[in-house]
A and B are shown apart, each in its own frame.
Chain A
């Protein structure tokens, strides 16, 4: 009898934890070293160019409908003479326990085998639930069908979809580059090397504050950087288990700040 129960229990448990969640192929991670970041915004511009983000103009920006998948948040502390400015680049954190994923009724957003939180534009019906549940406000919605003015439509990236009206979108960690690198590695019969995948923001960062890599590869740069004592994750107390790791900024007075 006991044997049968154990067998049933094992079977049920195997349904509870799908195989892919036990072992991911990769665990793509980004490390943001705030000590190196000078807030220039090159990553934002690079993201706009790579991912075909529409530029919405002054009026819609005022309505908080700007499309930046990656933004640099600026916080000013204190009054004029004794003022401190802090800034932090925030993009989709690719949470391992993402609040957005439980919200979607049609699996438009889900976790894939690379540890990425992916958004499938074609499945999206636009219920806004993912964006409402998102704790980092990184999701962007196509309020209209955006058009690119005449010469600019020539600069659209052919590897990335131009999204239609009514779908949600967000930072993908430049999944098109990840796929290309994986394909190349597969053709050559090897694994993806560290540094082979370079998202647009990391590529355009002049100070190398953004580092991207596979956390499962013990030799990768990110795997070495995460042992840094300055390490923290954004809103970690919400237990979303984000894949983006920040390294605290060390200020002039020797204090480290988030």
Chain B
């Protein structure tokens, strides 16, 4: 039955989806061997790419940052009204990319959505490393990053507690909580997999997995506890999907700056975050499928189809919020708001950026209404690229652009990122891919035990 064309009806309308990929022919042993082969059989090309990414990270990311720390924030393009530039844009963008992992691992876990199993681990890994990038961007953005620990509340010789009314303080807690719970959730979900890899691996891997699997033997009681723990963490993380990016949006919404001070920002940012997050996950899946054909067995067109629907819904919600943001500004009808809107919507080059943003976030995802495009790998690849660019532009049009036109016209000044900012932005992407590529060779990027659940119990199928 489940293999038949599944359809969901809303008032007689049928949304046609692809039939669920039947994985019951894959045996447990095959899954184990596939994943282990994926992790251990590494060609020279992989090492070359990894090395190149490492070099690029050093060149484009570490060295410019060191130069910036040594010389001062003056090497950026920031100026007096525009104090928040591309670094903050990247900060918000990467928090957004981190969001899909949480949604897939927590919300879809609780609702027992079957297609999450094969992709959940990859998405969670993305969350973790996107958050690493986020943390680094906070430090990069600071004027005196060596004093970053001053924003943690701990008894100190300065006899100073932190200011809990500050939205940045909310951020410290939101992202701290998010990071910690993501790491714990990722590790907890991985324990049974590490145990099964421990059986079949050799050398340093065996020792690593032996220590990290914490003596997992797969007893009934252990599975029971594991299921309970996963459910607990899912429930714990689920509110974070909404809260973290709402809090990030309050960095802006709690000020009085025209263009920042909007009540729509929390849902707007959360929707945008999930949109870019799902685009990121899909992009990652596409690339993995291209370079490791073995994964085609586990990540199928069915997944693309499902995520495509989610991206379509999120894109429509996002478009509504964007419209509301503009309309709220018009409705406020203060001279500052109108000036800000005029600058954002009518002044080139920002008007072109705005059009590009609408094109890539609203119009391009509309093509996802067609099922053929949803299940087409190359089509989805380009849609994801467009959505990611559009979401980055959205943040750019909000963060530095609103500051360019604040209250007193004498101080109005435009902003253009310097080479250091551009280089660190590109370097962060390299750093992210480097960490991700290193990770998937050490830890299983597909959740073994959950894919085995998909495959079903072999006894019943007559294996």
Contacts of A136 in B (CB 8 A): 407-408
- A123 to B77: give the CA distance in the assembly, Å: 25
**Which of B142, B172, B407 lies in contact with A126, CB distance below 8 A?**
B142
- A63 to B144: give the CA distance in the assembly, Å: 21
- A127 to B171: give the CA distance in the assembly, Å: 12
B395 at the interface (CB under 8 A from A): no
**Which of B144, B158, B413 lies in contact with A167, CB distance below 8 A?**
B144
- Number of residues from B at the complex interface, CB < 8 A: 44
Instruction: Give the contacts of B387-414 with A (CB-CB under 8 A).
Output: 403, 406-411, 413
**Which of B144, B158, B168 lies in contact with A103, CB distance below 8 A?**
B168
Q: Is the CB of A168 within 8 A of B166?
A: no
Q: Chain A 108-149 against B: per-residue CB contact (8 Å), 1 yes, 0 no?
A: 000000000000000111111101110111001111110000
Contacts of B163 in A (CB 8 A): 102, 104-107
- Interface size class for chain A? 35 or more
Determine the residue in chain B with the shortest Cβ distance to A165. Answer: B72
**Which of A75, A126, A238 lies in contact with B410, CB distance below 8 A?**
A75
Rounded to whole Å, the gap between the CB of A95 and the closest CB of chain B is 11
Q: Is the CB of B255 within 8 A of A103?
A: yes
Q: Is the CB of B409 within 8 A of A132?
A: no
Rounded to whole Å, the gap between the CB of B150 and the closest CB of chain A is 5
A74 at the interface (CB under 8 A from B): yes
Q: Chain A 133-177 against B: per-residue CB contact (8 Å), 1 yes, 0 no?
A: 101110011111100000000000000000001111000000000
Q: Chain B 147-169 against A: per-residue CB contact (8 Å), 1 yes, 0 no?
A: 11011000000101111011111
Q: Is the CB of B72 within 8 A of A105?
A: no
A64 at the interface (CB under 8 A from B): yes
A99-B255, A127-B142, A137-B411 known; A107 and B79 CB under 8 Å?
no
Q: Is the interface of B mostly helix, strand, loop or mixed?
A: loop
CB < 8 Å A-B pair total: 136
B135 at the interface (CB under 8 A from A): no
Rounded to whole Å, the gap between the CB of B50 and the closest CB of chain A is 34
B38 at the interface (CB under 8 A from A): no
Contacts of A166 in B (CB 8 A): 72-73, 142-144
Q: Is the CB of B141 within 8 A of A127?
A: yes
Q: Chain B 402-443 against A: per-residue CB contact (8 Å), 1 yes, 0 no?
A: 010011111101000000000000000000000000000000
B3 at the interface (CB under 8 A from A): no
B84 at the interface (CB under 8 A from A): yes
Rounded to whole Å, the gap between the CB of B178 and the closest CB of chain A is 17
B257 at the interface (CB under 8 A from A): yes
- A122 to B251: give the CA distance in the assembly, Å: 23
Contacts of B411 in A (CB 8 A): 64, 73, 137
Rounded to whole Å, the gap between the CB of B169 and the closest CB of chain A is 4
Among A143, A238, A240, max chain B CB count under 10 A is at: A143
- A99 to B161: give the CA distance in the assembly, Å: 20
B83 at the interface (CB under 8 A from A): yes
B114 at the interface (CB under 8 A from A): no
Rounded to whole Å, the gap between the CB of A159 and the closest CB of chain B is 23
Contacts of A142 in B (CB 8 A): 72, 143
Q: Is the CB of B166 within 8 A of A132?
A: no
A64-B411, A106-B160 known; A133 and B72 CB under 8 Å?
no
B74 at the interface (CB under 8 A from A): yes
B242 at the interface (CB under 8 A from A): no
B: residues with CB less than 8 A from A are 71-74, 77-81, 83-84, 141-145, 147-148, 150-151, 158, 160-163, 165-169, 172, 251, 254-257, 403, 406-411, 413
The 8 closest A-B pairs by CB, nearest first: A126-B143, A143-B74, A166-B143, A73-B410, A128-B83, A166-B144, A137-B411, A64-B413
**Can you list 22 residue pairs at the A/B interface with Cβ under 8 Å?**
A60-B74, A63-B79, A75-B409, A103-B166, A103-B167, A103-B168, A105-B168, A105-B169, A107-B162, A123-B158, A125-B145, A125-B150, A126-B142, A129-B168, A133-B256, A136-B407, A136-B408, A144-B71, A144-B74, A165-B143, A166-B142, A238-B407
A: residues with CB less than 8 A from B are 60, 63-66, 71, 73-75, 90, 99, 102-107, 123-129, 131-133, 135-137, 140-145, 165-168, 235, 238, 240
